[in-house]
Amino acid sequence: MKAVVQRVNRARVLVGDRLIGQIDSGLVVFLGIEQDDQEEQVDRLAKRVAHLRIFADQNGKINLSLVETKGQVLVVSQFTLCANTESGRRPSFIQAAAPEEADRLYQMFQARLREEYNLKVASGEFGAMMTVEAINDGPATFILEEKGRGGKLS
């Protein structure tokens, strides 16, 4: 499971001209789900996203998490994060999870953020062609990855 996380002042996602989801200050999470991903990766990644200390405290130090700032999250499914681009000019998506399983874990990831961490979560539309608009804060962009067992969170 891979996530590209961007700190934003605001963001929204559209399908055609329809507004699907939007947030104010918080994070946009582009989520890629791979074949072997399971619920334990969802749990660990949701915890990491919720507690990633990338927001400024009252002294301007990058010291606070999304939970502490009561920020919002926009989660967008993005199977292209699972691409293998090691050779050739055409990415291979063979590692991406099957759509049904990817959607199940995508929905679970959002539910964990809402239920476990009491965050306001908006989302894109799974499988749709989307337009994502984000006003980056920083910019501050991070790549998080969860694989197999382990991945301790400090």
Cα 28 to Cα 77: distance, rounded to the nearest angstrom: 11
pLDDT > 70? residue 1: yes
Cα 42 to Cα 108: distance, rounded to the nearest angstrom: 7
Cα 74 to Cα 33: distance, rounded to the nearest angstrom: 16
pTM of the model: 0.92
Q: Are 74 and 22 in contact (CB under 8 A)?
A: yes
Q: What are the tens digits of pLDDT across the range 70-120?
A: 999 999 999 999 999 999 899 999 999 999 999 999 999 999 999 999 999
Domain 2-145 has CATH 3.90.79.10: no
What is the pLDDT at residue 148? 67
pLDDT > 80? residue 149: no
pLDDT > 50? residue 150: no
Residues catalogued as catalytic: 78-80
Q: What are the tens digits of pLDDT across the range 16-30?
A: 999 999 999 999 999
Q: Are 21 and 12 in contact (CB under 8 A)?
A: yes
pLDDT > 80? residue 154: no
pLDDT > 70? residue 152: no
